[in-house]
Structures are given as structure tokens and as C-alpha cells.
Chain A
Amino acid sequence: QKEVEQNSGPLSVPEGAIASLNCTYSDRGSQSFFWYRQYSGKSPELIMFIYSNGDKEDGRFTAQLNKASQYVSLLIRDSQPSDSATYLCAVESGYSTLTFGKGTMLLVSP
């Protein structure tokens, strides 16, 4: 059973702080990793994807991947109240199918 684990939260951070979201996965053969943001009642929105070990930066977002530790994270710098949402980690588990974690709720307070 391929699993993707996330802390459900909520993770509360003040506006302007760095939010750190973490995810672990069980399938050592996974090659592609994705972070989606989901607002309440809405469908997921792609934030970032990463395929190689190390860091990948896009604006205020940085994805970090460590395949040896089977760990992927998302850092959000200068957090804004509009970043408050549930963040879903997804791992490609073969033939383009994604396995999603249950998501971490992020609350950014003004």
C-alpha cells in the first residue's frame, strides 16, 4: 500500500513568517512530487512540482526533496493570510497516477 503522510495541522503562523509543510512517502521508487493548494470547497491548485533531490524555488515557494529520507517539504516565505488553505502533497505512484496525503491546514494570522 503506497502511502503519503502529512500532519493534518492546523499549522498556525503569523503574517510574514515562514511556513514549513512536510510530507513523507512510502514508495521508494516514486519519482515525481507535487504540492497542491486547496481552499475550502474548491478543487486543488498546483503550486509546485519537483523531481530531483534538493531545492526548487518559485517566488515565495520552495520545494525540498530528499529521496533517501523519502521526504518532501514546502516552504512558504512571507506568509500571507491568503495562503491560508489546505496543502496537499501528492506523489506519482506509477503510470501517472497520484497518491495524495490528507493535507495540512495552514492558517496565517494577520
Chain B
Amino acid sequence: GAVVSQHPSRVICKSGTSVKIECRSLDFQATTMFWYRQFPKQSLMLMATSNEGSKATYEQGVEKDKFLINHASLTLSTLTVTSAHPEDSSFYICSAEGQGRSQPQHFGDGTRLSIL
């Protein structure tokens, strides 16, 4: 089945640091990847849709300049949290849509980001 790899799984860093998270589709090409954020006891909130070769589409309220998304190839999308602050601490999860019409999204293992 479709496998999505996300790295790193956990990051602890100081306030002001920029953090890059990678999302790879291992056995299929993903023209579209998605980035979600999940706070404790809350559901997944879509942050942005990442399209290969074009600019990402951000959801309302998500700062483009703070959450930089790059989708340079059909198997890799990256999310960079720039100048992270404690309120950015969360569980970040990427997903990739399988090939074909209306295929389910498959999720990476997530990245737990803790900003001190």
C-alpha cells in the first residue's frame, strides 16, 4: 500500500529557531500533499495543500511567511516553521493522496514539535 515517510519524528528546540519537516511518498508519486496540525485533544486542522511545481494553497488564518512549503518533486514536500515560538508547538502531520481519482490520503507518522 501507499507509504508516506515523515522526518523528523520529534523536534525540541529553542524559540526563534527554524525547523524543517520532510514528507516523502515512498512507493508512489504524489502530485498533491497536505500539511495538518493537531493540538492535544483536537482534530486535525488542514494548514495547506502542497502542489508539485506550484505554490502551496494555505488555509485561512495560516501565515504563509511563517509556514514555508516547498514541493519540488513528486515524492517530497517540506514544511519549514520559521522563527518558531512556543505557541507553534504541536503535532504536524503530512499526508499524500494516492494515485487515481478520489484516492484516500495516507498519513506520515507525524512530527511532534516542542519549542522551548
Chain A residue numbers with a CB within 8 Å of B93 are 43-44
- Do the beta carbons of B110 and A42 come within 8 Å of each other? yes
Within 8 A of A (CB), among B22-70: 32, 34, 42-46, 49
| Interface majority SS (helix, strand, loop, mixed), chain A | loop
* C-alpha spacing A41/B93, complex, angstroms: 11
A40 → B minimal CB distance (Å): 10
Give A36 to B97 CA distance when docked, in angstroms.
14
Interface residues of B, dominant DSSP: strand
User: Known contacts A97-B49, A98-B46; is A34 also within 8 Å of B107 by CB?
Assistant: no
A97 touches B44 (CB 8 A): no
Residues of chain B at interface, number, CB under 8 A: 20
- Which A residue sits closest to B107, measured CB to CB? A43
Which residues of B lie under 8 Å from residue A44 when comparing CB positions?
A: 44, 93, 107
Does B86 belong to the interface (CB within 8 Å)?
Answer: no
Q: Interface segment, A14-22, A61-69, A100-108? A: A100-108
Interface residues of B (CB under 8 A from A): 6, 32, 34, 42-46, 49, 93, 97, 102, 104-110, 112
